[in-house]
Structures are given as C-alpha cells and as structure tokens.
Amino acid sequence: MKWEVRTMRSGTSLFNWPVFKKTVLRFWPVWGAYSAIWLVALPLQGLMMLQLEAQARPGLTDGYMRRFAQSVPEMEHMAMVLALVFGVLAAMAVCSHLYNARSANFFGSLPVRREGLFATHYLAGLAFLVVPNVAIFLLTLLIEAIGGTVLLPGLGFWLAVACGECLFFYSMAVFCGMFTGHILALPAFYGIFNVLTWALCVLASAVFHRFYYGFNGFGPWMQTLIEWLTPVMKLGSGVGGWYADGRFRTRGLDSVAAYAAAALLLAGASFLLYRARRLESAGDVVSVRCMRPVFQYGVAFCAGLTFGMATTSFLGGQEPTLMASILVWGVVGYFAARMLLDKSFRVLRYWKGAAAVAGVFTALFLVVGFDLTGFETRVPDPDQVDYVELEGANLCSLADGGDYLRAEEGGPEFVKYAVLLHQAAVDQRGTHPGGTASETNLCLTYHMKDGSTLSRWYYPVYVAPGEADREGTAAWAIRQIYGDRELYWRAYGFEEAERRMAEEGWRLREVSYENDGHDPGTDQTVYYGGAEAMALYEAVKEDFQAGRIGVRRVEDWDKYVQGRRNLNFQFSNDVNANFWIEIRVQDTASSTLAVLAQLGEGSAPAP
C-alpha cells in the first residue's frame, strides 16, 4: 500500500504580496505626507496658474502656464531635500521590524525566505517615494496639457532627478539600517554617513594647520573625492535644469545616474547584511559583530579630533595643549562607544583598548611633531617645477587692484623667486628676525614636471626691506617680482581686458575717478564715458608700459597711503556682464594726470 502525504508548500518566492500590502497600509503617513507636499508644490500650483490663465482677457495672456511649466525643473533642490528626509523615514518604517525582538522573531518565523522578506520590505519603502513621483508627474502633465503648454523635457528632468535621488538616499538609509538594531541609531548613522567624509576632512585640515607649518589644505583631487562622497554637497550644487534661449539645458544628470547606480550596489550590500543578520541583535546599537570594533575605534578617533579641537579653541594653548586634549577625548570616546555597545557603564575593564587608542594618537603626534615625513622642510628644486601659482607677497600697498598678487607663471626666473620666498618662510619658522621687518603672507602651489603638486601657505613671512639689494634674499626676490611689468600687466587685468575687447566684443563702458582726500579740498567721484573714458585708458596703458603707474617698491613698505586717488575701468559685454580694473594714479603717472587735467578733474603732481 502506498501512502501519500500532502504537505503545505513552503514560500520560496522573492516577493510576498500580503507583507508588501500590509507594510504600505501600515505606514501610509510616510508616503501620504510625501505625496501631499509634492501635490501642493506642483499640481495645485499648476491649477492656480491654469485658473489665472483662464481669467485673463481673451487674446491677452501673461503666460502663467508657461512660467509654471518652466519652473518645474527648478524644483530639483526641493527634490533633494525631500529625498534626503523621506528616504530615512521610509527606511525607518520598513526596517522597524528588525529593532524589536518580538517583531523580528515573528517575521523570522514566517514561511518566507529572507530574500523574499528583504525584497518585499525594500520595494515597499521604495514605492513610498517612487509611486507618488510618477503620480505627480502624470497629474502635472495633465494640467500642462489642459493649459496648452506641455514642456516635457523639464517635467521629465524633474521626474528623473526626484526618482534617482529618492532611490539613492533611501538605499543609503536601508544600508545604514542593516548595521544597527536600534531605530534611533538608524537616522544617527544616516546623518553621520552623509557628511562623514566632509567632517573628517575639516577636522583633519584644522589639526594639520595647527601641527604642520605651511599646510595649505588638501589637493584638488581630495576636494573632488570629498564632494562625491558627500552626496548632499554634490547633488545640492551640481544638479540643475533651466530654459534658456528657447532650449532646455541641464547639468548634473550624470551625477544623478552615478548615485542611482551606487544605490543598486548599496541595496545589494544591504541584502547580504540582512541575510547574515542575527535576530538576537534587535536592540543593539551595532548589529553586525565585525563592525563593532570599527564603530568603537571610529568614535574614539572622531571624538578625539572634534572635542580636542573644541577644547583647545575654548581654553587656548599651543600644540601640547591640543595633543593632550585629543588624547583625553579619544580615550573618553572609546569608553563611551563601549558603553553603547555593552549597554553598561562597567567598561573600565576594557582599558587595553583605551591604551591602544592613546598609543595610536601618541604615535601620530610623534610623526607630525618631529616632522618625520619632511613636510615642513620640503622646498622643491626649481628645475623640477613646471609652473607655480603664487598669491600674496604684498609689502607695498597702493590700495588698488594690484595689491594682492595672484600669478601663474612658468618662467625659470619667476620660479626661482618663488622658491627663494618659500625657503625664507621655511627658515624662519617660529622665529622673528628682529629689527625692522615687514610681514606678508605667501601662498604657493607648485605644479611639478612629474604631474604632482606641492602647495604651501605661510603667514607671517618676515621680510627685511634693507636686504632688497642683496641677491638671494626674500626682499630681493620681491623686488624682482615688483619689477616685472608683464606680470603686473596681467595681475591688474589689462591683458584680459584687451583679449575680451579684441575677441569677444567687450567695450569700455565707464571710468570712475575717486579722489578721496589726496589733494586739499577734494573729495569726489567723477565718471567718464565714451571718448573721454578711452583717452584715460590709453593714458594709463602708456604710463604703465613706461613704468610710471602701478609701480611698487620694497623700500616703500612702511609708506602710508593717504586717501584714494584711483581710476576704476568698467568693461561690459552685450549680456551686461562686467569686468573691472582698478589702479592708483601715482604722482609719476604724467600721461594720466595730463588727461585728467585736460578733462578738468586732474591735478598737478604733489610735491
């Protein structure tokens, strides 16, 4: 006799409709609030514009619907904010069953594989955001169609950005949710991860500024990396859509696509963590055991830097105070993290871990304190430099546009001067030369022939004007820089102005002459245009090429500039963009003073 036994089929589907439906209905306030905000922002606003359009007199319209349709893509900033906020709310809702032991055991006992549970909850939370976006898109499209103004590119741009950002921030929040067993820890981790790279860069930069003499921040590659690893920064400033000249233009869609692709990777990683997750971890701050040391030492490191800098800023002090503050707060952060992990105040028995934190910080202090990397003393060989960017080196102020020099030069002589100034700054670290010396700042970025860069910033750099005649000194180098007329021709902006007028159709729009207290009884601003403005411009160029205006001398570093006697040249183009050149009228500017006297506003050179 054959016995046949019927058994219930085990649920092996990757999706469970009852669980999906229950999740959507249970957490309706999340997607309801999200939908209501967008409903007011787009369709209802469109209906108002439609009503205003209908009330306009026949044959006469103010283009309400067109302005509304053109404003839709400008909602990208609002889309990012809502995605950021509702992404974590949706993740908290669909992951909430993991943070309570009873709920976790209940879902664990269902005849549904973990793959199915994860996919069902993940898709339910994603539906909270994507389905309303699609519904709002269709409603807005219908309203635009009724109004006879359908601008599909702008509306499609909004939908793509809104859905892409919702996908990323929601997936990121779910990923964070897999690391914790406490519902309040999820938004905390989510917020930290969103700005972690930027915050660490700011903290590290602040500490390096205190320890490393000449530190000028991280390089451009680091800034780019920080921007990409800080989504709110990249999406907040790099995404946009607008209508111009009858065409729809966009920027940043590739960034949205990149983050959407990253969201799929985060979803996959979340799934793997969900499969390995223990039900007993409900209520733990960190649910993944292998991540507990990362959390513990990460908190210690961040607490040491953050509160160490804050304590030093409040109490004052130099490097020893900062070292002590970072060390103490690092140990405190270690024990605080251990308390959160163990849910107990009895953590002093883990003193070995605290000693390890103190040891690591001490080793780092030795490295930077004794400059074991050679950062502070490194001065490049001029033969290895392709070109150098120099800012500062200001000893003589004329109170005009050439005071703060910004130059990018590759000539061997200029590179030599930059290296001389750099070496002078390195040699005088922590010392004051004494006697009569002037202070200036110096910012250098060397672009090396091997493709690398070296950047340094120094303040103060002491320069003795009496050494201007001695070759090889900082004062001598600055004198040579001051004497380079082509360099200052570019620094004032004459080269750029000439290029724009010759190649881009710019014109000299106006010249203002500020005479504020230089001559007895004068305090006025006079404006010139047309042929008078051009005559002044030509006179200034003549004086400049002859070395009679825009001239600085190292010996004049302590000379106080009385009042202002400046010419401001304003250039413009057809779209009303402006470009200025400001230069002081020195007593030696004979051609310029002659033109001013001819125009009735000049004066003879002062004695």
pLDDT at 518 over 80: no
- For residue 91, what pLDDT band results from cuts at 50, 70 and 90? very high
Helices vs strands, H then E, count in the chain: 21, 10
Q: Residue 395 has what pLDDT?
A: 75
- Amino acid identity, position 406: R
* Mean pLDDT of the 105-133 span: 86
- For residue 35, what pLDDT band results from cuts at 50, 70 and 90? very high
Burial class (CB in 10 A: 0-12, 13-18, 19+), 603: middle
Q: Residue 396 has what pLDDT?
A: 80
User: Tokens standing for 275?
Assistant: 């499969």
Q: Residue 602 has what pLDDT?
A: 46
Q: 0.85 exceeded by the pTM?
A: no
* Mean pLDDT of the 7-23 span: 72
- DSSP one-letter string for 24-53: HHHTHHHHHHHHHHHHHHTHHHHHHHHHHH
Rounded distance between C-alpha atoms, residue 488 and residue 446, angstroms? 20
pLDDT at 163 over 60: yes
Q: Which residue has the tokens 């590659």?
A: 221
- Amino acid identity, position 565: R
pLDDT at 6 over 90: no
Secondary structure class of 571 (helix, strand, coil): strand
Q: Residue 233 has what pLDDT?
A: 93
* Mean pLDDT of the 134-139 span: 97
Q: Residue 8 has what pLDDT?
A: 41
pLDDT at 434 over 80: no
42: left (phi over 0), alpha (psi -120 to 50) or beta: alpha
pLDDT at 2 over 60: no
314-352, pLDDT tens digit by residue?
Answer: 888 788 899 999 999 999 999 999 999 988 898 999 999
Burial class (CB in 10 A: 0-12, 13-18, 19+), 232: middle
pLDDT at 521 over 80: no
Quick check: bond before 460 cis, omega within 30?
Answer: yes
Q: Are strands 453-463 and 438-448 parallel, antiparallel or unpaired?
A: antiparallel
- Amino acid identity, position 584: R
- For residue 449, what pLDDT band results from cuts at 50, 70 and 90? very high
Q: Residue 246 has what pLDDT?
A: 77
- DSSP one-letter string for 387-443: EEEEEE---S--SSTTSSEEEEE--HHHHHHHHHHHHHHHHTTT----SS-EEEEEE
What is the average pLDDT score of the chain?
88
pLDDT at 452 over 60: yes
pLDDT at 487 over 90: yes
Q: Residue 317 has what pLDDT?
A: 79
- Residues ≥6 apart with Cβ < 8 Å to 71: none
Q: Residue 558 has what pLDDT?
A: 54
pLDDT at 446 over 50: yes
* Mean pLDDT of the 129-157 span: 94
- Among the residue ranges 44-48, 55-59, 343-347, the one predicted with the least confidence is 55-59
User: Tokens standing for 60?
Assistant: 């006469």
533-549, pLDDT tens digit by residue?
Answer: 999 999 999 999 999 99
- Amino acid identity, position 337: A
**Which is it for the CA torsion 204, 210, 215, 216, positive or negative?**
positive
248-270, pLDDT tens digit by residue?
Answer: 999 999 999 999 999 999 999 99
559-602, pLDDT tens digit by residue?
Answer: 556 677 899 999 998 777 889 999 999 999 999 999 999 987 54
Helices (H), 178-316: 185-211, 220-228, 231-238, 253-276, 292-315
Rounded distance between C-alpha atoms, residue 426 and residue 430, angstroms? 9
- For residue 462, what pLDDT band results from cuts at 50, 70 and 90? confident
DSSP structural state of residue 112:
B
How many residues are listed for the chain in this entry?
Answer: 607
Q: Residue 316 has what pLDDT?
A: 82
User: Tokens standing for 573?
Assistant: 């183009």
Q: What share of the chain in percent tops pLDDT 90? A: 61
102-118, pLDDT tens digit by residue?
Answer: 777 676 667 778 788 89
